[in-house]
Chain A
């Protein structure tokens, strides 16, 4: 049984408190650290042995002293109270109410680390989620149960895109309930306020749960934020049968917090100082997305990470890419041109898209028109590069048409207003409009019957 309070503190090192003469402490056990003034902070056991316990204090160790601090080992791991009542609520990074309302009346208390999904019980994701953002729905389609990260860069519009997805996302053609769990990890106050306000004003807060860890909140709290968010998501998905979209922004801040703890524990650093277990740790978060046989609900994840120096080979995007099922990459060039959302489709991919689109799911021509646009835009980029060398005058007529396709793709299809929620038909129509700038003979990726039905250009 837990509940014993120890007052023999051997050392306080960074975010860690080392407690002496500890008996019966358990790995990952929740700890209440109490200061001289009676202030309580939460932590968890990272290591036990030789009568010592290393406790990671979520709310930081600032102001703690060796002599006046005590640690109460609670006897259980950290739990999140869950119930349907959490919908519409705003919590801090540790799952405590931040909206001035009381603690939710819990239906259950769940271990924030979740239970690993039995691989045998996993159901292959293949149902479309409409985000209302054309480039995602049309070309990097998100399916229920998928984990599809957004790779962004510092200062780019990933948070605006995330908020737009949170506001607009829905499952079409079903009465099953849909919810959004939004975890902001280490974001600025203005960003957190933007997320809260935008969901409130759009009426989407009612079906959302917000976890806000601010930039000036203790970094260590960031380790917990995605876990409490996913615990709520799993409950709503697998106990209440809802389709839950989890948006985690910014996972780079999460990895930074992990590095801070690792450095304090004097672990051997891996690439760029991140711990060697970064991959394993990230997988414990990303692998909580999915769908289970026999259960109605699903957990879909859109983690957002800002790549330091826009470097896609940085350990965080690199390791994330190994675990997730594709990526949406935001492009600095498009962002500078004022394109929103600045998605670089040539570097983006949804690995599960092919199973979530087409007849019976979205529309029969979806896959082909998407491929045709991908091909045309890729060719447009080549032609633009060529035009940079030989000039427009040196280009063939068909090349000029591909240049038009590039412009039309970016201005007509990619560009979208912040509050513009396009349905799938609108998105696919725009894709057809883009390739209708080309002569019919250039549409080699699409069946003739679809060209006959949707092509709007001339045959020359």
Chain B
């Protein structure tokens, strides 16, 4: 009798304990499920962030590589074009320098003289030119009263440099000065021949 009671009590306690443990296990399972769910969301957010940061970084690096290589290629092209432009210029200057000092050249010098004296507003000027052009310039000065050819010569491809008699005003109408003034425009034309600009 007593042993039955004891057995029932033990069973009851075992049942209760089993129930409690089961309920605790269920609770723990639910809790861990919840924690896992929470962690999953956090993990997914973290994963997305890592992927997004990685993409951004990759994009940045790609831009950097593409940008710098594009620029390098473009800069090389610029240097090559400049080299070609310089060669074309050198060739052209050589030809100008070797030009025959014939009648048409005398006409050119005369027009350069006229432009220069018009700019200074006087024909009473001292005219400087190259050793090579002294004769041609001397021959056209008759048309410019008061003008005189300087004893000294200057280094230039051709043309004239005039100075007012008081020495305060100068106008450089040598071919060198004219080419230098027009060089940016000429460069564009030469570069266009290479197909670099329109």
Beyond A101-B78, A203-B66, is A88–B71 a contact (Cβ under 8 Å)?
yes
Is B65 positioned at the interface, with any CB of A under 8 Å from its CB? yes
CB–CB B64/A202 < 8 A: yes
- Per-position binary interface string of chain B over residues 50-73, scored 1 when its CB falls under 8 Å from any chain A CB and 0 otherwise: 000000100010011111101100
**CA of A203 to CA of B59, assembled, Å:** 11
Is A205 positioned at the interface, with any CB of B under 8 Å from its CB? yes
CB–CB A4/B170 < 8 A: yes
CB–CB B168/A23 < 8 A: no
**CA of A8 to CA of B81, assembled, Å:** 41
Q: Which of B128-165 contact A (CB under 8 A)?
A: none
**Residues of A with C-beta under 8 A to B78:** 85, 101-102
CB–CB B170/A105 < 8 A: no
Beyond A85-B78, A103-B184, A202-B60, is A7–B68 a contact (Cβ under 8 Å)?
no
Is A382 positioned at the interface, with any CB of B under 8 Å from its CB? no
Is B112 positioned at the interface, with any CB of A under 8 Å from its CB? no
Q: B188 to nearest A CB, angstroms?
A: 5
Is A201 positioned at the interface, with any CB of B under 8 Å from its CB? yes
| Number of inter-chain CB pairs below 8 Å | 88
Is B12 positioned at the interface, with any CB of A under 8 Å from its CB? no
CB–CB B169/A6 < 8 A: yes
Which residue of chain B has the shortest Cβ distance to A420 in the bound complex? B56
CB–CB B181/A3 < 8 A: yes
CB–CB B187/A105 < 8 A: yes
CB–CB B119/A4 < 8 A: yes
Q: A221 to nearest B CB, angstroms?
A: 21
Q: How many residues of A contact B (CB 8 A)?
A: 32
Which residue of chain B has the shortest Cβ distance to A23 in the bound complex? B121
**Residues of B with C-beta under 8 A to A205:** 67-68, 71
CB–CB B170/A203 < 8 A: no
CB–CB A107/B197 < 8 A: yes
Q: Which of B71, B118, B172, B184 contacts A206 (CB 8 A)?
A: B71
Q: Which of B67, B118, B170 has the most CB of A within 10 A?
A: B67
Q: A216 to nearest B CB, angstroms?
A: 27
A residues contacting B by CB (< 8 A) are 1, 3-8, 20-21, 23, 70, 81, 83, 85, 88, 101-103, 105-107, 109, 200-207, 419, 421
B residues contacting A by CB (< 8 A) are 56, 60, 63-68, 70-71, 74-75, 78-79, 81-82, 115, 118-121, 167-173, 177, 181, 184, 187-188, 191, 196-198
Instruction: Give the 4 A-B residue pairs with the shortest CB-CB distance, closest first.
Output: A203-B67, A203-B63, A203-B64, A206-B67
What are 21 A-B pairs with beta-carbon distances under 8 A? A3-B181, A4-B120, A7-B170, A70-B170, A81-B184, A83-B197, A101-B78, A102-B78, A102-B82, A103-B184, A105-B191, A107-B188, A107-B197, A107-B198, A109-B184, A202-B63, A203-B65, A204-B67, A205-B67, A419-B60, A421-B56
